Each structure stands twice: as structure tokens, then as C-alpha cells.
Amino acid sequence: MPVQLLKEVEDEVTRFLSALIRINTTNPPGNETAAAKYLAENLSSEGFKCELFESAPARGSVITRLKGTGEKPSLLLLSHLDVVAADPEEWSVDPFAGVVKDGFVWGRGALDMKGMTAVEVMVLKLLKRNGVELKGNVVLAATADEEQGGLSGADYLLRNYPEMIFAPYVLNEGGGLAVPTRSGNVFTVQTAEKGILWFKVKAKGTPGHGSMPNVADNAIMHMNKLVEKLGNYRSRVALVPTVKRFLEEIAREDAALQEPFSRLLANPEFADDVLDELAKTSPQLAEEIRPRLRMTITPTIISGGVKENVIPSECETVFDCRILPGQESTQTIALIKALLDEVDSEKLVFEGLQVQEPSESTAETPLYDTISAVLREFEPNCGVTPMLTTGGTDSRFFRRKGSVCYGFQPMHPEEASSGKVVKREHGIDERISIENLVFGTSVLYETVKKFMT
């Protein structure tokens, strides 16, 4: 018998998410404790024992669990409670009112990621209400600080309370959204994420009068050359296992992509030619793939100069560099320094700002197989693919400790206009459809039940 959508949870999961959005957890400062307490009260009323952890005043995370027999490894349902800022002036509704209208729950965090927190809480309650006999612990953690790097949330908990939060398997944000193709939906499972290397370069010159450009040594002119060099730098293409499999799975569902993707897979060094061609018909897909094939360097902040008529002796630029799994930050830094030397070794000074190593989990696990099987119970003809995200999530802390982590918030694309998938995470009028809350709960519940019994 085909599995059914859990229509009966619609009201409960909608109300919970709406209430969670009303607790403003904009980070900074975060104030996640209020949200953690709300979650704890909701679960306590159903007999769950919840524990609150504060890394600093008001920076709370909450953890609870359903005990299993110990025959199977534990599974952690992870989410973060903080959100990025929202400017009410730009929105068509109050971003912190938890508005429910037109079949959507509106507000900051609806997608990233209070929507998934609501789904995970619902799944936990259903497992308990339905008396599902678990063979392993199902742990739920809703944490602080993800949007500012996670050091005061997931990383803090993993460092100080590993016995409470560590699990060999983790489900988190980052994937789950289906990619529409010509022959149907391909659901994504985030199995890998790029690493972050933020750095600053200072250009040094000598000051002088703005009317005498040849006498002084203008730092902006040195920086100009460097921005040109790094901004246009094309590193070697590297096909990591997740991206290779992603291209194969998408091509399997879309006949028109079989020829170009097999060319790309056979000759990664010609990837840019293949993607330039693809961009003529599917620009969004081409630009989604491009940064997943190589390390990227993007200038994001530049400052220099103090006065109209003074030639500046200093200019600074911040770069956002993203590296692929398998690439190491130390090697990347050496490469960047070599590029600096090519421009001007005397005048340019490198300074590292932040490093987050890339991470990847294999898709060859029983959890991945369970996810695929459950999705096909709901949609017999759908595809499933591992995916690499260009941005980072808290999963990296767990992958570093050896957990298999998947980003999996099962969702259908919400508004497909002109074949484009609209992304509203961190954007204006962020919202999630009630249909997707029910779909997400249903798929996640079946996945956990199947995996843990």
C-alpha cells in the first residue's frame, strides 16, 4: 500500500512554526534561549525530558531524546534556532509575526530553518504517540548561532557535551529540495559542503598629494591589479564524488543533459565550454554547477583612502574563498600567496581571517538508501541525488567527528515561474507552504521510522 501524507498534523505543525517565528532570534544577538524554552515546553507537555544549554546568557540550545534498545546507532535530528536579520520595510508582511495566509507560513526562518525545526519536533512527537519501538536513540537538538558560524551553538555542544549530542547519523538542513527536470522531480540530499577561507590583503604604498600622482606610490593601484588577478582567477576543475554523482543522477532524469554531462564527466578540463553552452538554454542550472567544480575567490569588501586630495598609502580588500572537499586550506593559502607574489611581493600583505574546512559524507550508507526508498514510496518515479552546497552548515562539526550527515528537509519547489526555482532563504518574504510542512513531516517520519526499527 502506498504511504499516505500525514494530513492530520497540518494544524499542529503550522501553529508550532508560526509561534516559533514570532520569537525573534535574529543573530546577532541571537536570543535563542526564548525559542529553546518554547520548544522544551511544547515537548515537555508530551512527556519529553528536555535539557537547555547556554553557551552565554540568552544563547540557548535544547536537546531531548527518545530512547531505543541500542541495537542500532543513534540518529540526531539537528536544526538551528537563530535566523538572519529581516528589514520589515522590505517585506509585504511583518517578518516576525508568524503570519499564516494563502497556504503559507510567512516569516524570517520559515525556510532557514525553523520550518525544519517544526518538522523534526512533529516527527519526534509522532514517534512517541504512535509507540514506535526504536532500535536506536533518536536525539533532537535545536541549537544557537549557526548563522554566525555555530561556535556558540553546535560546536559548543559537541565540544562540551558530546555524550548528549553526538550521533553517528545526523539529519540537518542544506538539502531535500527537489530539482524539477523534464521527467520529474529529483530530490537532493546534501552530502557535502564547500569550506570557507576568508582572508584580507593589505596593499602598502607611500602617501602624497593627489595632484602629483607620479611622486607618491598609490596603494589603490596595487590593489587594483590584485583584485583583477584574484577575482578572475580560474582554478583547476576538480570533480568530487558528490558532484560527479549529482551530474550522473540529473542526466539520468533529463535526456537533454545526457550528452553535455557525459562530455563534462569524461573531460572535466573542458567543463567551462560545456557550461557556457548549457547556459544558453539553462542558465540557472549552469551557474548552479559552475562553483561546484572548483575553488572560487570573490572580493567582497574594499576600503582605502581618507581624503579627496591625498594619495592613499593603504588599501585593504577582503576576499571570500570557497574550497572543495579534498582541498586543504593550507595548500590554498600557499597558492593565494604565490598569486600575490606574482602581482607584487613587496607591497601586498596576506592576512587570514577565518577557516572552515570543507566536509563530505559518503552516500553509500543505509541511511541514504532509506531516504531514497522512502521518497520513492511517496513518489514512485522521482530521482534522488547527493548534492554539494557552496555554503556551510553545522554538519561540518559532526562530519569532523566522524558522523554521516545529510542535509535533508524534504520539499517540493514552491513557486516555479519561468522554470526558475525561487530561493527565499535569507531573502524578502521568506515563507514555506503548509503543503511542504506536511510533506516534510510525512517523509521524515517514515524515514526515521524505517531507519530506526
Query: 153 or 304, CB closer to Zn ion?
Result: 153
Is 89 buried (19+), middle (13-18) or exposed (0-12) by CB count in 10 A? exposed
Residues of this chain, 255-274, that bind Zn ion according to CB under 5 A: none
Strands ordered across the beta sheet of 100-101: 100-101, 104-106, 431-433
Query: 113 or 177, CB closer to Zn ion?
Result: 113
172 phi, psi to nearest 5 deg: -145, -170
Euclidean distance between CA atoms 319 and 333, whole angstroms? 12
Query: 426 or 450, CB closer to Zn ion?
Result: 426
Query: 147 or 446, CB closer to Zn ion?
Result: 147
Which range of residues in 15-23, 166-174, 394-402, 416-424 is near Zn ion by CB under 5 A?
Answer: 166-174
Q: Give the number of other Cβ atoms within 10 Å of residue 199's Cβ.
A: 22
Which range of residues in 172-180, 307-315, 326-334, 341-349 is near Zn ion by CB under 5 A?
Answer: 172-180
Rule CB under 5 A: say whether 193 interacts with Zn ion.
no
CB of 159 to Zn ion, least distance (A): 20
Query: 112 or 446, CB closer to Zn ion?
Result: 112
Residues of this chain, 393-432, that bind Zn ion according to CB under 5 A: none
Question: H or E segment at 355?
Answer: strand 348-356
Residue 319 is placed in which grid cell?
576576499
CB of 203 to Zn ion, least distance (A): 35
Query: 98 or 174, CB closer to Zn ion?
Result: 174
Question: H or E segment at 386?
Answer: strand 383-389
Binding residues with Zn ion: total (CB under 5 A): 3
Which range of residues in 3-11, 53-61, 105-113, 293-301 is near Zn ion by CB under 5 A?
Answer: 105-113
CB of 154 to Zn ion, least distance (A): 11
Which range of residues in 173-181, 217-225, 244-252, 445-453 is near Zn ion by CB under 5 A?
Answer: 173-181
Q: Give yes or no for a contact between 321 and 215, defined as CB atoms under 8 angstroms apart.
A: no
Q: Give yes or no for a contact between 179 and 375, defined as CB atoms under 8 angstroms apart.
A: no
Closest to 36 (Cα-Cα) out of 162, 147, 141 = 141
CB of 193 to Zn ion, least distance (A): 12
Rule CB under 5 A: say whether 113 interacts with Zn ion.
yes
The end-to-end CA distance of the chain, in Å, is: 19
CB of 78 to Zn ion, least distance (A): 11
- CA 182, 389, 321, 299 torsion-angle sign: positive
CB of 146 to Zn ion, least distance (A): 5
Closest to 351 (Cα-Cα) out of 160, 196, 203, 210 = 203
Query: 218 or 361, CB closer to Zn ion?
Result: 361
Which range of residues in 93-101, 121-129, 170-178, 373-381 is near Zn ion by CB under 5 A?
Answer: 170-178
Query: 173 or 217, CB closer to Zn ion?
Result: 173
Of 112, 193, 253, 394, which one interacts with Zn ion (CB under 5 A)? 112
Could you tell me if residue 374 is left (phi over 0), alpha (psi between -120 and 50 degrees) or otherwise beta?
A: alpha
CB of 82 to Zn ion, least distance (A): 8
* DSSP3 helix / strand / coil % (the chain, rounded to 5): 40, 25, 35
Query: 193 or 253, CB closer to Zn ion?
Result: 193
CB of 262 to Zn ion, least distance (A): 34
In 3-state terms, what secondary structure has residue 377?
helix
CB of 60 to Zn ion, least distance (A): 17
Euclidean distance between CA atoms 114 and 108, whole angstroms? 9
* Residue closest to Zn ion when measured from CB atoms: 112
Query: 112 or 253, CB closer to Zn ion?
Result: 112
Q: Give yes or no for a contact between 15 and 118, defined as CB atoms under 8 angstroms apart.
A: no
Rule CB under 5 A: say whether 154 interacts with Zn ion.
no
Which range of residues in 118-126, 136-144, 169-177, 206-214 is near Zn ion by CB under 5 A?
Answer: 169-177
CB of 150 to Zn ion, least distance (A): 10
Q: Give yes or no for a contact between 191 and 362, defined as CB atoms under 8 angstroms apart.
A: yes
Site residues, Zn ion (CB under 5 A): 112-113, 173
